């Protein structure tokens, strides 16, 4: 049963200014492990900080707008504090800022019709969304599920399970550990010094995810893991490893010293390997749904080569495997219908030296060219 109910027509708390700004301040005694539930139908930014007090302190500031235009409702029961806002009458260019202090052990549900959200130094379940605005999240522990309709996201120095998402904006995840993921509908997602159950991303490695668009990397001295839903990928220089994937577009890797995996739904792939894998495996796997693949390899590379070029009936005798290395090639006689459109295959294989590095190439309706480099 609710024990405290506060309803404010904000004019009662106005502070006069040239802009008609106003202010509310409220405090609630609470226990650790409680919950703050905020719903700003009027929109507004939300800033939450954890502190070492059994107290929730809420301040609401009105900037470039009149407090008389809004209604705020505060209520509290034994476990939850609720804050709701709405327009008393609609105004343009309003700016509401809600600043909150909570115990470090606290749960948050944060919703705003538009505005940035920041949360620092909190341990608990954090959920909610903003229709449009940035997310700034630091020094957090627990489970998170936060969404912005369009805005950048920063997550740093945290131990979290869950995910954050933006409809269009860049995402930086740095110094984070846990079963955590980040997504963007239209911007780069970058991981630095991130440890998840499936993979560790060092601070020196380049990790970029993009839902759609071209990606360019000048230098990745400790490896690159690059993916886009659709667009070209260009990596000028990389060491250790490259993983590059695009839903449809060309991939070019000017120089890689290490292993490489590159795949495209439809497009050309061109990769140059500049060194044998002296410090580890240097396997190369290149796959295109349709398009030419060109791979340049050092002349001294120890390798086991497996090339498969498929072509459909309307492209018979149009594509081939071109190699500076001595490949044993054969063409199948029968049309394979297991992939829908009938196709035949040209396959090339060879083993050089002790075959330490596996070279696998797959494409459909495209030439495969193996060049011998330095």
Domain end position, chosen among 151, 174, 196: 196
**Mean pLDDT calculated for residue range 13-42:** 75
Same domain, 40 and 170: no
Task: Check residue 6 and give its pLDDT.
Answer: 34
Residue 143 CB burial class (10 angstroms; 0-12, 13-18, ≥19): middle
Asked whether residue 219 falls in the same domain as residue 189, the answer is: no
Containing structural domain, residue 175:
137-196
pLDDT at 94: 67
Same domain, 246 and 347: yes
Which of 2-16, 53-67, 164-178, 217-231 is predicted with the least confidence, judged by mean pLDDT? 2-16
What mean pLDDT value characterizes the chain? 90
Give CA–CA dist 141/323, Å, rounded: 54
pTM attached to this predicted model: 0.78
Cα(229)–Cα(74) distance, rounded to whole angstroms? 44
Residue 17 pLDDT > 50, yes or no?
Answer: no
Same domain, 212 and 293: yes
Q: Which of these three, 180, 196, 212, is where a domain ends?
A: 196
Confidence at residue 19, expressed as pLDDT on a 0 to 100 scale: 35
Residues 183 and 245 in one domain: no
How much is the average pLDDT of 330-348?
A: 95
Total count of domains within the chain: 3
Has residue 42 got a pLDDT over 50? yes
* Arithmetic mean of pLDDT, 127-134: 96
pLDDT at 128: 98
Q: Are residues 184 and 213 in the same domain?
A: no
Checking if the pLDDT of 22 tops 70, the result is: no
212 and 357 in a single domain? The answer is: yes
Inform me whether the pLDDT recorded for 14 exceeds 80.
no
**In Å, how far are 10, 68, 88, 362 from 20, measured between CA atoms?**
12, 9, 15, 67
Decide which of 81, 97, 131 is a domain's last residue.
Answer: 131
Mean pLDDT for the stretch of residues 158-184:
95
Asked whether residue 60 falls in the same domain as residue 144, the answer is: no
How high is the pLDDT of residue 272?
97
> Averaged over 279-291, what is the pLDDT?
87
118 and 262 assigned to the same domain: no
Same domain for 159 and 226? Answer: no
Q: Are residues 187 and 250 in the same domain?
A: no
Strands 180-184 vs 135-148: parallel, antiparallel or unpaired: unpaired
3-state class (DSSP) for residue 313: helix
Assess whether 182 and 234 both reside in one domain. Answer: no
What's the pLDDT tens digit per position in 229-261? 999 999 999 998 999 999 999 999 999 999 999
pLDDT at 89: 77
DSSP type of residue 336 = B
């Amino acid at each position: 049963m609710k024990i405290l109910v506060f309803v404010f027509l904000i004019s009662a708390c106005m502070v006069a200014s040239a802009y008609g700004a106003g202010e509310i301040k409220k405090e609630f005694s609470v226990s650790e492990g409680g919950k703050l539930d905020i719903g700003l139908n009027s929109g507004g930014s939300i800033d939450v900080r954890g502190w070492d007090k059994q107290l929730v302190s809420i301040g609401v500031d009105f900037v470039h707008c009149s407090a008389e235009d809004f209604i705020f409702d505060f209520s509290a029961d034994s476990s939850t504090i609720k804050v709701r806002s709405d327009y008393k009458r609609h105004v343009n260019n309003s700016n509401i800022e809600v600043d909150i202090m909570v115990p470090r052990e606290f749960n948050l549900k944060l919703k705003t019709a538009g505005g940035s959200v920041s949360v620092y130094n909190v341990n608990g379940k954090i959920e909610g969304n903003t229709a449009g605005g940035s997310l700034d999240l630091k020094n957090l522990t627990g489970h998170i599920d936060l969404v912005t309709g369009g805005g950048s996201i920063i997550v740093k120095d945290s131990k979290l399970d869950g995910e954050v998402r933006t409809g269009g904006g860049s995402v930086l995840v740095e110094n984070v550990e846990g079963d955590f993921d980040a997504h963007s509908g239209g911007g780069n997602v970058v991981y630095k010094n991130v440890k998840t159950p499936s993979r560790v991303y060092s601070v020196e490695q380049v990790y970029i995810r993009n839902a759609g668009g071209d990606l360019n990397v000048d230098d990745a001295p400790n490896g690159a893991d690059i993916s886009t839903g659709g667009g070209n990928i260009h990596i000028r220089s990389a060491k250790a490893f490259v993983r590059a994937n695009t839903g449809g577009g060309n991939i070019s890797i000017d120089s890689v010293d290490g292993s490489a995996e590159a795949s495209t739904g439809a497009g050309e792939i061109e990769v140059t390997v500049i060194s044998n894998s002296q410090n580890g495996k240097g396997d190369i796997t290149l796959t295109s749904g349709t398009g030419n693949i060109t791979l340049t390899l050092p002349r001294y590379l120890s390798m086991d080569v497996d090339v498969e070029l498929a072509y459909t009936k309307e492209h018979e005798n149009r594509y081939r495997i071109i190699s500076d290395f001595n490949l044993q090639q054969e063409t199948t006689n029968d049309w394979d219908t297991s992939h829908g459109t009938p196709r035949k295959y040209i396959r090339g294989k060879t083993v050089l030296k002790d075959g330490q590095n596996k070279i696998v190439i797959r494409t459909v309706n495209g030439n495969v060219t193996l060049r011998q480099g330095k």
